[in-house]
Amino acid sequence: MSVLVDDDSRVIVQGITGGEGEFHTEQMIDYGTNVVAGAVPGKGGQEVAGVPVYDTVAEAAEAEDADTSVVFVPPAFAGDACFEALDAPLDLVVAITEGIPTQDMARVKRAEEETSTYLVGPNCPGLITPDEAKLGILPGNIFETGNVGLISRSGTLTYQVVDSLTQRGIGQSTAIGIGGDPIIGTSFIDALGLFEDDPDTDAVVMCGEIGGEDEEQAAAFIDEHMDTPVAGFIAGRTAPPGKRMGHAGAIVSGSGTGTAQSKIDALESAGVPVGDTPEEVVDNVEDLL
């Protein structure tokens, strides 16, 4: 099985007429994703990569029976694009856009909590169920079908860990890049719950980083609610306190939480082995399976 996306997903690309939107639409289609429509205000009636374009998400969803969207919309307008997808409504919205204003995302997050829609991102690489569908910018060639779920705040770290898993012959059920912004839709806890309920996911890799308390909260969830074993990795062990490192959410306040060590300690206390490198993470996964 898989979580959130599979070969039955019918996908709208918001921003399909832009350079990034068109390029990654072609990549998703080449992978086998069922991209059925694009949505760009004022561009209805066009075609991109053989995909019909509609003026609104609602029109595209109704005409093409779509249930999922991927957002490749510039930051100033991406919040409104997310609202439009939530209003359609769709089952899943994946916001790839980086740099969406935090105030916009705060409003989107409040709106999402009033719906049954899953929002993944923003500032994320997307998600993939190998050999079924990929949504976003993930390099599909490194993924292999299997029984290990993956959740990561970092796109690059996702690729490193997945490539190491695949090289060892360990395939993935679904990989979810949740994004590194301070306000995101799907959290570690949300994604862990999905994998816990998936009978074909036998282990989960959780890749976190410094900043915030999401990993500590996830550790408590794992300890209290999960039977599926989890292996961990935390990036940013040598980062100086008070300095943003890469992601908008990757800043340590110096309060004793949010540091690499506090996250590692919380995970290990919950029985999660934490590797120092992606290769050690894979060693731990092999031990868990």
The one catalytic residue in 10, 153, 247, 263 is 247
Alpha-carbon span 152 to 124, nearest angstrom: 9
Q: What would the DSSP string read from start to end of the chain? A: --SS--TT--EEEETTTSHHHHHHHHHHHHHT--EEEEE-TT-TT-EETTEEEESSHHHHHHHHT--EEEE---HHHHHHHHHHHHHTT-SEEEE--S---HHHHHHHHHHHTTSS-EEE-SSS-EEEETTTEEEES--GGG--EEEEEEEES-HHHHHHHHHHHHHTT--EEEEEE--SSSS-SS-HHHHHHHHHT-TT--EEEEEEESSSSHHHHHHHHHHHH--S-EEEEEE-TTPPTT---SSTT----SSSSSSHHHHHHHHHHTT--EESSHHHHHHHHHHH-
Alpha-carbon span 128 to 174, nearest angstrom: 6
Active-site residue, 247 included:
yes
Q: Tokens representing 153? A: 């705040």
Residues marked as catalytic: 247
